[in-house]
Amino acid sequence: MTALPRLHVEVVETSSLGDRSYLATDGHRAVVIDPQRDVDRVLAAAGRAGARIALVLETHVHNDYVSGGLELARLTGAEYGIAAADEAPFAHRPLRDGDLLEVTDRLRVRAVATPGHTFHHLSYVLEDAGEPVGVFTGGSLLYGTTGRTDLLGEQHSVELARHQHRSARKLADLLPAGAQIWPTHGFGSFCSATQASGDSSTIGEQRAANPALSLAEQDFVETTLAGLDAYPAYYAHMGARNIAGPAPLDLRAPAEATPGELAERLRRGEWVVDLRSRKAYVESHLAGTVSLGLDGPMATWLGWMIEWGSPITLVGESGEQIADAQRELVRIGIDQPAAAATGQPAQLATDTAQLVSTPTATFAELAAALGGDPGGLPSADVVLDVRTNNEWRDSHVDGAVHIPLYELARRVDEVPAGSVWVHCGSGYRATAAASLLESAGRTAVVIDDAFAAARSSGVVLTS
């Protein structure tokens, strides 16, 4: 007898948010788990597989992105399954622990209650002709970690951490060692309790490597909660939007802003975001623009820093950059930029006085400047660290001032007087911070260098 081909699971990566969606198919029908809002990528994956999407599933009500599940179900006619306890107001299949969803004779999915990341979280065991081959774990069991347990409020974090420990063990006991794990979070997402490790894993590998499966419950709870850091402010808006039912996607091009209109928006202090790389930005940019290049997690940092609902104008080198930025932003619910402009800074300026550049340095140059030799750069009166709290606690430049990037816009007056040398872990956040400092009338130097090189460059670190 000829063996049947194995079920195929395709990963739909959203690296800018640190998340994954999945399409599982037997070549005829498909199941989609945790789709991002731009569902055209999922439809394309199903088309390549020659499969019709019959079922769309959510592991939980997401806090870090707007789900595309409802729209995908509408477009395809697929059944839409979410936890019954979430009591969503739109048409859906309410799912409970143990429910079996038979898509075809071969392709079956079994719901498993795995509270922890949220109270009603479900994981989905993928079965091939009745045999478990893997599990879609959402924000439960991740690669070397678990989903964070404080997103529903600190008052629930201990209880949810206990649930998370039990849920991870429930999955490990339920599934064979060779079963694959397909998490939604853990690839840079702030929904992960700690940074995940690796790109793939099995239940057996996690039994040996995951703290949820090696630590006693109380030790796991204490370790998990002690390691949690701040998460993006825009998360506050995602859960409510997802449970209400997101509106259909709108990627129509925004209104085009003339140079005069750009100048007026900048004069009013609006968010005008330069999407080019930080290398291009420091060389020349319009004064008052904020550097958040598309080569980094632009949407995460913008959504974290802005006052929600503020008008946003996008500035890029091409229409393609604007379109890419729109796609990133709609994933977190920023649906329609106020305007956009394309071209080089010199083409978008109404006056050459609008064109400015930002000096850059390495950590070796910082060491020299702190020793009294700035080498033609502004003096290092202030060293500003804009990394996260956990990064700062781990190690930081002796004598530095710490204000995380996501707090800088409202705390810029706390930066001591003088020229500011600003750094992060690599240069991306430092460039964004320098742009905010410049807009506040400060002189800034971007340390465009890896923090890992600081000590060997002669910079004194402390922790």
**Domains observed in the chain:** 8-244 (3.60.15.10), 259-356 (3.40.250.10), 360-462 (3.40.250.10)
Separation of alpha carbons 14 and 155, rounded Å: 30
pLDDT > 90? residue 197:
no
Q: Is the pLDDT of residue 434 over 80?
A: yes
The pLDDT score that the predictor gives to residue 198 is 82
- The pLDDT of residue 199: 87
- The closest of 290, 298, 277, 250 to 15, measured between CA atoms, is 298
Q: Are 384 and 433 in contact (CB under 8 A)?
A: yes
* Average pLDDT of the segment spanning 191-208: 90
Confidence check: pLDDT of 107 > 80: yes
**Mean pLDDT over the full length of the chain:** 96
* pLDDT score of 369 more than 50: yes
Q: What is the pLDDT of residue 5?
A: 61
Q: Centre a 10 Å sphere on the Cβ of residue 370 and count the other Cβ atoms it contains.
A: 19
Tokens 């130097």, residue located: 445
Alpha-carbon dihedral of residues 399, 404, 410, 414, nearest 10 degrees?
-10
To the nearest 10°, report the CA torsion of 60, 146, 238, 78.
-30
pLDDT digits (tens, 9 = 90+) for 146-163: 999 999 999 999 999 999
Q: What is the pLDDT of residue 111?
A: 98
pTM, to two decimals: 0.94
- Mark out the alpha helices in 55-194 (DSSP H runs): 69-76, 157-174
DSSP letter assigned to residue 43: H
Task: Output Rg (C-alpha) for the chain, integer angstroms.
Answer: 24
Residue 132's DSSP bridge partners are: 127
Cα–Cα distance for residue pair 115/146, rounded to 1 Å: 11
